[in-house]
A and B are shown apart, each in its own frame.
Chain A
């Protein structure tokens, strides 16, 4: 059971397998829902069987984190980034206690869903989910620029968004050891660096004069703002929880 959960939450970067299978048609958009569902199943199993992982598992998952970080740096595809972010945090899902690992995973999945939708926006307007060459979004499409900026801030582990808050709360509430701080340091910086890389390359920069920029409208805008509102409220609630000593 330990091994199964370990694999499901991304202790081993099994996305490699799918990437190899998908080399020909490159249709990666379908895998994000699959991976996020597998992660939820893994965490539910961990909750049902009350599994706590040994440090050996956590150290192996750290290697998975680092490999994923390397791949995330190399890619400019937002779909891929959405599921890379899930695997980046695998060591955290195994390390922290069950309650907070579920909270953290759900917050992360919600944020990554937002990122995935931004990928859809890119695909629908610019032909693919690649952000390379599509810079200056904040100037030409301010709403989607703002939305993407918020998702990336959330993924870069800044408060008041729940990813940062629940990670912090889990450290406050539990007994910690050196390995906790090492994992925290690695996850903290890998998430931040990858999120900032996307931010500087597509939200910032000089607008590309050969591209016709379009901003999001109507229902699409509503979905994004709802996700941001949800994340903000949940994050503030998490802060209040730790302040009230619950």
Chain B
């Protein structure tokens, strides 16, 4: 009976098939919704079974599995699916190709479920590629728009490169270990690690192939350009893409986590790529004039964090991160659709709660700026230390989390600053809001992070941290955090005031050149235009 859960990847395919014979828009959206509910119910039932019995569900000749990771992610994707389908019913009503949209939407969900529940590297590769393809068709949904099709071709180009690396990786895995089954492979990798086997050149090559494939799928720099430029896709597609599809890299690396035990260098490289992406994308986000593209860069930055977390061995934290980011980013995109709708009726900014709390007219340069920097650099450290002390049994057992949390906090401040005007940064309400968000982020990360870690990996979780071996001292990590906060804040402040003369002084040339590089997104779009010229 419990094996019914394994039908989840096939239900969206059935929906797509049924939809293709129906012309009534109402019926199409209703059928989609009902079946999505069914998937969510099945997912919850499967999760309950796995948690209650502490046993995985296998089926289809061990090709599919419903395990701890599936019980978290399937439920998450299913709920996301319900929200997106519900929203799409109204949003897409007047669009051309309503039926086509729903068929493609169901296909991409089928691919996501198949990827999450696959217990075989061949099935994983098939799901991976089908996802690339359906994403391309969804991104290029407005096929009459030349620009949309052009940016869609960027997406498929980078995803095809990711497919290629992934396929080569799969072939090498089979040639090296002779097994397709992921559970058996994970056991084999763990055994090898416990016997003190360090990866040879082939295993390292496999690790790097999977890492780079994941970096491309998760839009990490320098493979990020496809994501910010897909904003012309319908809003539900943007929500799905930013909440679901870009997380695939993190999900796959989690599925192959035990392989990475044999390749510590791969984890270190992942950390470096994640770090660069997080910093670079977050900075570009502030400089890009287009609001939707700015949101795209925000996601790129978040994906950088996710890969960083994997790079330091916090695999389960990456899963938690992608879920949390997915929920807030999907809400953001769906809300943006509503906001545009509001704006069409009222040219003023809609007076929502955030507006009421943070909007204060004040355009003078703040003289208390240095006090604010001090406040923002010292307080988070104290808060973090306090929360760590309350929650953790081993105080500062894993101190690189500080760096990540510093970034997380910086991102949240950037969001506030982007949306609620930097010139109000001396407002007590803003400061209070930022600090509250930081406390909330730290607390939930610590609490849920450790909870998910125990659930997903149990005692093996510590092995990843050990292998990632980024064991820096508390003093260094606090120092890094302090430095990041100062640089971050200075930059944010300077970026905002770059067009304002302060005491009659204009910004110097170097700053302008730097700003120009950022505003032009480091010339990546220009390069992609040249590459995709013949499409």
Query: Which residues of A approach B to under 8 Å, CB–CB?
Result: 73, 136, 138-139, 153, 158-160, 164, 168, 171-172, 176, 181, 184-185, 188-189, 192-193, 196-197, 200, 203-207, 239, 242-243
A73, B534: Cβ atoms under 8 Å? yes
Q: CB distance B164 to A185 under 8 Å?
A: yes
Q: A176–B175 contact, CB under 8 A? A: yes
Contact yes or no, A205 B156, CB < 8 A: no
- Report A9 CB to chain B, min CB distance, Å: 24
Which residues of B (114-165) have their CB < 8 Å from a CB of A?
A: 120, 122-123, 125-126, 129-130, 133, 140, 143-146, 149, 152-153, 156, 160, 164
A159:B174 contact, CB within 8 angstroms:
no
B126 touches A205 (CB 8 A): no
From B122, B146, B175, give the contact of A206 (CB < 8 A). B146
Which residues of chain A are within 8 angstroms of B125 by Cβ–Cβ distance?
159, 168
Docked-complex contact B175 and A158, CB < 8 angstroms: no
Q: How far is the CB of A213 from chain B (nearest CB, A)?
A: 13
Q: A158-B130, A158-B133, A189-B160 are in contact. List 12 more A-B contacts (CB 8 A).
A: A136-B143, A158-B129, A160-B126, A168-B171, A172-B174, A184-B168, A196-B535, A200-B149, A204-B140, A204-B149, A205-B143, A207-B144
Determine how close the nearest CB of chain A comes to the CB of B97; give it in whole angstroms.
8
List chain B positions with a Cβ less than 8 A from chain A. Answer: 61, 63, 96-97, 120, 122-123, 125-126, 129-130, 133, 140, 143-146, 149, 152-153, 156, 160, 164, 167-168, 171, 174-175, 180, 534-535
Q: What residues of chain A lie closer than 8 Å to B140, measured between beta carbons?
A: 204
CB pair B164 A188 closer than 8 Å:
yes
* Nearest residue, chain B, Cβ from A203: B143
Q: Which of A159, A168, A181, A239 has the most CB of B within 10 A?
A: A159
- Residue on A nearest B174 in the bound complex, by CB: A172
Bound-state CA distance A139–B149 (Å) is 14
Contacts of A197 in B (CB 8 A): 534-535
Min CB–CB distance A193 → chain B (angstroms)? 8
Contact A243 B143 (CB under 8 A): no
Closest residue of chain B to A173 (Cβ to Cβ) is B174
Q: Is the CB of B129 within 8 A of A138?
A: no
Chain A residues within an 8 Å CB radius of B143: 136, 138-139, 203-205
Chain B, residue nearest A136 (CB): B144
The answer for the CA separation of A149 and B96 in the assembled complex, in Å, is: 18
- B122 to A200, Cβ gap below 8 A? no
Contact of B122 among A185, A189, A193, A239 (CB under 8 A): A239
Name 10 interchain pairs, CB-CB below 8 A, sorted by A: A139-B143, A159-B125, A159-B129, A172-B171, A176-B175, A189-B160, A189-B164, A200-B149, A206-B144, A243-B61
CB distance from A68 to the nearest CB of B (A): 15
Instruction: Check B153–A168 contact: CB distance below 8 A.
Output: no
Contact pick for B180, options A171, A184, A206, A243, CB 8 Å = A243
Which residue on chain A has the smallest CB distance to residue B99?
Answer: A142
Q: Is the CB of A192 within 8 A of B175?
A: no
Within 8 Å by CB of A200, from B63, B144, B153, lies B153
Given A196-B535, A197-B534, A139 contacting B144 (CB threshold 8 A) = yes
- Give the residues in chain A near B144, CB-CB below 8 Å: 136, 139, 205-207
Query: In chain A, what residue has the closest Cβ to B130?
Result: A159
Give the docked Cα–Cα distance between A100 and B6 (Å).
32
| Contact call A205/B146, Cβ cutoff below 8 A | yes
- In the complex, how many angstroms separate the beta carbon of A228 from the nearest chain B beta carbon? 13
* Min CB–CB distance B130 → chain A (angstroms): 7
Task: Say yes or no: A176 contacts B160, CB within 8 Å.
Answer: no
In the complex, what distance in Å separates the CA atom of A205 from the CA atom of B145?
Answer: 6
The complex places the Cα of A185 from the Cα of B171 at a distance, in Å, of: 13
> What CA separation (Å) do A153 and B156 show in the bound complex?
12
Residues in chain B near residue A164, CB distance under 8 A: 129
- Which listed residue (A139, A172, A188) contacts B96, Cβ 8 A? A139
- CB-CB under 8 A from A205, the residues of chain B are 143-144, 146, 149
Q: Which residues of B sit under 8 angstroms from A196, Cβ to Cβ?
A: 153, 156, 535
CA distance in complex: A203, B136 (Å) = 14
Given the complex, which residues of A lie within 8 Å of B149, measured CB to CB?
A: 200, 204-205
CB-CB under 8 A from B146, the residues of chain A are: 205-206
CA distance A168 to B169 in the complex (A): 12
Chain B residues whose CB sits within 8 angstroms of the CB of A189 once the complex forms: 160, 164
**Contact partners of B156 in chain A: CB under 8 A:** 196
Minimum C-beta distance from A190 to chain B (A) = 12
Judging by beta carbons under 8 Å apart, are A168 and B167 in contact?
A: yes
Which of B97, B152, B167, B174 neighbours the largest number of chain A CB atoms within 10 Å of its CB? Answer: B167
Bound CA–CA A34/B130 (angstroms): 34
> Across the interface, which residues of B come within 8 angstroms of A184, CB to CB?
168
Q: Given the complex of chains A and B, what is the CA–CA distance between A164 and B164 in angstroms? A: 12
Q: Min CB distance, B155 to chain A, in Å?
A: 11
A168 to chain B, nearest CB (A): 7
B contact residues around A193 at 8 Å (CB): 534
Find chain B residues with CB under 8 A from A188 CB: 164
Alpha-carbon distance A196/B157, docked complex (angstroms): 9
C-alpha spacing A171/B125, complex, angstroms:
14
A168–B129 CA distance with the chains assembled, in angstroms: 13
Contact A242 B122 (CB under 8 A): yes
Bound Cα distance A192, B145 (Å): 22
A243 and B175 in contact, given A181-B168, A204-B143 (Cβ under 8 angstroms) = no
Query: Taking the nearest CB of chain A, how far is it from the CB of B79, in angstroms?
Result: 28
Least distance between B251 CB and chain A CB atoms (Å): 19
A179 vs B516: C-alpha distance when bound (angstroms): 44
CB nearest neighbor in A for B145: A206
Complexed CA–CA distance, A203 and B125 (Å): 27
**Bound CA–CA A138/B142 (angstroms):** 11
Minimum C-beta distance from A135 to chain B (A): 9
Q: Knowing A136-B144, A204-B143, A206-B144 are in contact, say whether A243-B63 is a contact too (CB < 8 A).
A: yes
Closest Cβ–Cβ distance, residue A169 to chain B (whole Å): 10
Measured between alpha carbons, how far is A141 from B240 in the docked complex, in Å?
29
**B41 CB → nearest A CB, Å:** 28
Q: How far is the CB of A167 from chain B (nearest CB, A)?
A: 9
Shortest distance between the CB of B535 and any CB in chain A (Å):
5
Given A185-B164, A204-B149, CB of A153 within 8 Å of CB of B534: no
CA distance A181 to B172 in the complex (A): 11
How far is A239 from B125 in the complex, measured between Cα atoms in Å? 11
Q: How far in angstroms is the closest Cβ of chain B from A72?
A: 11
Residue in contact with A159 in the complex, picked from B96, B126, B152, CB distance below 8 Å: B126
Measured in the bound complex, the distance between the Cα atoms of B146 and A204 in whole Å is 9
B137, closest chain A residue (CB):
A149
> Smallest Cβ distance from B33 to chain A, in angstroms?
25
How many angstroms between the C-alpha atoms of A193 and B160 in the bound complex?
10
Can you name the residue of chain A whose Cβ is closest to the Cβ of B164? Answer: A188
Contact B534 A243 (CB under 8 A): no
Across the interface, B160 reaches (CB within 8 A) one of A168, A192, A206, namely A192
Contact of B171 among A159, A171, A203 (CB under 8 A): A171
Least CB distance, A117 to chain B, in whole angstroms: 22
| Chain B contacts for A204, CB-based, 8 A | 140, 143, 149
- Nearest residue (CB) in A for B140 is A204
Neighbouring B residues of A185 by C-beta, 8 Å: 164
